[in-house]
Structure 1
């Protein structure tokens, strides 16, 4: 087993859904199979529009031949493992490349940088995940020497291989993942309720809005920003109970089971549609919206 980097573009020609599956040609089969049971980092190249650099981690569960396309395969992502970085990590920093394994013996970028799937060293994996999950926001948990897992105490310079595995396993904690999910969703929505358009900040500077999963975690909904909505308490309650939902064009739908339709309409912003994130890749994915309409919405 080994860590890996998988290149994914939001405008990809492949049938990818990074939180669920990754489609790839047969030439990368051996490299992907080496990652089965282990963690990979998603990277969006600089040429892509609105490139996010290194933007998420996931765990590869298994690989299957693509039933619809000859010569193609699908890497299945372990449910519940995908997690967006709080801070997308650029390809370069002031000191040079982030992924230093891409440098050849002459200190130049090697041809490996063009590979859609490539192995990554533990040191590079550590460096990228450290930056991606840097705890520089009050929305994330503060880890100190008393609560840290082995290998996670403050002051440790670089995580070792097995210690990094402990750190990544720590990120599978539901409490931690909920905090990270809240951070990335609220950032995408500017801490503003998608339904009401209100942006309320309490006296401690905390946004009075929730990060709601469109497809719930209990129904294998992933912790990806496109499966999230920033919702005020009342809107969140109605959404979870199927009293409101969202059409593919982002129109806010009201259930016929609502006993005060006029009152609910006063809560909805004037456009009648959700206030979606600016970046297309952060907007609710039609796949998840359809799931909510078909499984939760009381039409």
Structure 2
């Protein structure tokens, strides 16, 4: 149900009406008169339908001919927060979430949005052909959707909201305390009789999905938790001697190399069974050190001022960061915050190695160590120490030997993805690399994830190769 005014102007008019209701506590007849005097609406029946809609979403309370703002209505009016009003809409009317999710796939017309709603909610049965446009009008007025030449797309805030909706991550509030039952419901899992200190959780396919860590005020490890950066002692109680590379400790060790999954941090006060959510943390370093006569894993962690949906979006942006014909070689200093850059940098190795199916782009091999570790590394074509961008198109998956050879200038790549070898027959190593000359590079199946020629040209220039 649209309101009085054009699309994009719904909430501005609604705000004026709510202020009138709050200050005057009017009768329904007085509200009808106000609407006729202050908006383009003239039909009493049309106005009554709109007021009934506002009553139905719990913004207004219309009873015995009197109109009042509800508590939720006053909450919205106090700050006119789009999120508050969107919650009123999406909680009571089908289709709003569907529109945002549909627009995540790209711009769409009102008719295409209507088709998406009809598919997701066949029970709605749109009899009013303007129904999808009215939904879009509300989202447009809240700043979540923008419209140009009859086509709708998400704004930055709309994209963030849509990602939050589609995220499988729990909606936890930093600083709030939760019982174990609350957390089991939020994460959709069981922790057994109690939540351990380090809890790696995997998908049905066995892939790591997220990690939960808990620090207890009266715990045995004397974790130093003050400040944005703190230390956390790994799994293994003192009476069992040296800590071992258990699955839990290994999961955190892997996160020091690259942040592939969210790490949720909780704190349990000594006098409470509840756990206080402290937000996400980044595991930035690990040491195996002597403490109180035994060896322990000491992790250095740093708090992240982002939520899980933002973590997911930043990680995905490394693969989705597809540039035009002239991408920038270096990262824009103002494009991301330090935390956002760190998450993207951590996601880079995983994204690049996955794009190449964990095989070396030069030799095509995928070696494994006896413990199952794959010997494939993610190389920046234009180097990271020169502020080279964390985008899959500036990356190559390489075995350790060819990573070294590429970084030192033994090897380069032509614009047509042919391997070039430095013309230094006088140096030891040339005979090993010479057979690779003019061999084709192994490329990702997804053409959009293949390296951009501009990065290869810059690499050739750095190492003195002539452009072919």
Give the TM-score of the pair, scaled to structure 1.
0.51
**What runs of 5+ residues in structure 1 fail to find an aligned partner?**
1-93, 155-167
What residue is the counterpart of 2:381 in the other structure? 214
Going from structure 1 to structure 2, the CA distance change for 1:203 and 1:282 (only over 3 Å counts) comes to same
In structure 2, the CA distance between the partners of 1:128 and 1:194, relative to structure 1 (3 Å rule), is same
Q: Would the aligned equivalents of 1:214 and 1:288 in 2 still touch at CA under 8 Å?
A: yes
1:144 and 2:264 equivalent? yes
SS in 2 for 1:231: strand
Alignment of 1:238-249 (within 5 A): 238-249=405-416
Is 1:278 the counterpart of 2:445? The answer is yes
Secondary structure (helix, strand or coil) at the match of 1:187 reads: helix
1:243·1:297 contact (CA, 8 Å) conserved in 2? no
Q: Measure how far apart 1:292 and its partner are.
A: 0.6
For 2:131, what is the secondary structure of its paired residue?
coil
SS of aligned partner of 2:358: coil
**Cα distance, 1:201 vs. partner?**
3.6
Q: Summarize deviations over 1:118-171 as a string: whole Å, max 9, x none.
A: 5625353144378699884876044111524356389xxxxxxxxxxxxx7465
**Structure 1 residues 117 and 171, CA gap change in structure 2 (3 angstroms):** farther
Cα distance in structure 1, aligned partners of 2:395 and 2:341:
18
Match of 2:403 among 236, 257, 277: 236
Residue in 1 aligned with 2:157? 122
Partner Cα distance (1:255, 1:237) in 2: 14
Structure-2 change in CA distance of 1:253 and 1:202 (3 Å): same
What secondary structure, in the 3-state scheme, does the structure 2 residue paired with 1:144 have? strand
The size of the alignment, in residue pairs, is: 190
Residues 124 and 177 of structure 1: CA distance in aligned 2, closer, same or farther (over 3 Å)? closer
- Is 1:106 paired with 2:273? no
Residue 125 of structure 1 aligns to a residue whose secondary structure is helix
**Aligned-residue CA RMSD in angstroms?**
4.1
The separation in 2 between residues aligned to 1:210 and 1:133, in whole angstroms, is 29
Q: Is the 8 A contact 1:246 1:253 kept in 2?
A: yes
Change in Cα spacing, 1:144 to 1:130, as seen in structure 2 (3 Å) is farther
**What SS does the aligned partner of 1:278 have?**
coil
Correspondent of 2:455 among 275, 288, 293: 288
Determine which structure has greater relative contact order: mean sequence separation of CA pairs < 8 Å that are 6+ residues apart, divided by chain length. 1
Partners of 1:180 and 1:114 in 2: how far apart?
37
**Is the 8 Å Cα contact of residues 412 and 460 (structure 2) preserved in structure 1?**
yes
Secondary structure, counterpart of 1:145 in structure 2:
strand
Encode CA deviations 1:19-67: one digit per residue, 9 max, x unaligned: xxxxxxxxxxxxxxxxxxxxxxxxxxxxxxxxxxxxxxxxxxxxxxxxx
1:201-228: CA deviation from partner (whole Å, max 9, x where unpaired): 4456543211111111333321111111
Q: 5 Å matches for 1:243-258?
A: 243-257=410-424, 258=427
Is the Cα–Cα contact under 8 Å of residues 305 and 339 in structure 2 kept in the other structure? no
Structure 1 or 2: more helix by fraction: 2
Change in 2 beyond 3 A, CA 1:221/1:149: closer
Instruction: Answer yes or no: is the 8 Å Cα contact 1:243–1:298 preserved in 2.
Output: no
Measure the CA separation in 1 of the matches of 2:345 and 2:445. 23
Local SS of the residue matching 2:340: coil
CA displacement at 1:242 relative to structure 2: 1.0
Question: CA distance change for structure 1 residues 275 and 150 in 2, over 3 Å: closer, same or farther?
Answer: closer
TM-superposed CA distance for 1:281, in Å, is 1.6
State the distance in 2 between where 1:225 and 1:177 align: 11
Q: Which one has a bigger Cα radius of gyration?
A: 2
